[in-house]
């Protein structure tokens, strides 16, 4: 299970719902760590400060476009199609919020889409930065996704600074680990930890193709929720 960075480096740093739908009818993968918990899609919101009722701890997911965020969320809760995988990266500009019994999952728009115009890119960052500030009192943690195959981009390094300025625990999750062999994977974890100035145990590898790391990520999220935003 990965550990959450708090204070050093990546320091501990609420729109109207468009619709609400229950997703209990979706097929459950037995191996999914959160798959036995009921989950409800509350809606998509343009306002980073949208009020959620009741007040519960929140776990935010953030990452570049094409990092595999929606696919990872689906694997985590064991429900294919819960988080829609966009055929047009960079077009989502809303927060997608899901409620589980004891916490919310807040899916932020992907950042860094190369084909987005300057205004759109700035809008994505304003929304993401708005969540990190407006929701800081409720955030029990931020899951920051990076593609294990690549060194941090300029956008990633800017996100790192935004996360470091908050008071929220951050867990760095490396996606697409199956794309590398075991030796190359470990070497890349070491290189990314160095580039981010983080201990290696604060980087957690995952693969939706093989299922590696998915259960550990679920355990890490539940541990952060149990500690709560003020831990």
pLDDT at 58: 96
CA distance 184 to 198: 19
For the beta carbon of residue 17, count every other beta carbon within 10 angstroms.
Answer: 13
CA distance 106 to 52: 11
Is the predicted pLDDT of residue 109 greater than 80, yes or no? yes
Q: pLDDT digit string (tens) for 172-206? A: 999 999 999 999 999 999 999 999 998 998 899 99
Task: Find residue 141's DSSP bridge partners.
Answer: 59
> How would residue 119 be classed by pLDDT, with cut points 50, 70 and 90?
low
Percentage of the chain lying above the pLDDT 90 cut: 51
Work out the average pLDDT over 127-141: 90
Of 82, 95, 81, which Cα lies nearest the Cα of 39?
Answer: 82
Average pLDDT, the chain: 81
Q: pLDDT digit string (tens) for 34-81? A: 888 999 999 999 999 999 999 999 999 999 888 989 889 999 988 777
Domains of the chain: 27-227 (3.40.50.300)
CA distance 177 to 106: 23
The pTM assigned to this predicted structure is 0.83
């Amino acid at each position: 299970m990965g550990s959450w960075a708090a204070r050093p480096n990546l320091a501990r740093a609420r729109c109207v719902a468009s619709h609400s739908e229950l997703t209990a009818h979706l097929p459950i993968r037995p191996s999914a760590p959160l798959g036995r918990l009921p989950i409800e899609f509350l809606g998509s919101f343009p306002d980073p400060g949208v009020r959620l009722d009741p007040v519960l701890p929140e776990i935010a997911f953030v990452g570049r476009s094409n990092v595999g965020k929606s696919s990872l969320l689906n694997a985590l809760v064991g429900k294919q199609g819960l988080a829609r995988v966009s055929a047009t990266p960079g077009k989502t500009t809303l927060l997608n919020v899901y409620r589980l019994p004891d916490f919310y999952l807040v899916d932020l728009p992907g950042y860094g889409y190369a084909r987005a115009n300057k205004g759109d890119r700035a809008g994505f960052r304003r929304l993401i930065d708005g969540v990190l500030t407006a929701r800081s009192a409720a955030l029990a943690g931020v899951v920051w996704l990076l593609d294990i195959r690549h060194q941090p981009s300029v956008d990633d390094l800017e996100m790192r600074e935004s996360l470091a300025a908050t008071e929220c625990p951050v867990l760095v999750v490396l996606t697409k680990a199956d794309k590398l062999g075991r030796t190359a994977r470990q070497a890349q974890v070491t290189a990314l930890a160095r580039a981010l100035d983080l201990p290696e145990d604060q980087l957690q590898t995952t693969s939706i193709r093989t299922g590696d790391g998915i259960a550990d990520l679920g355990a890490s999220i539940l541990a952060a929720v149990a500690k709560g935003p003020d831990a």
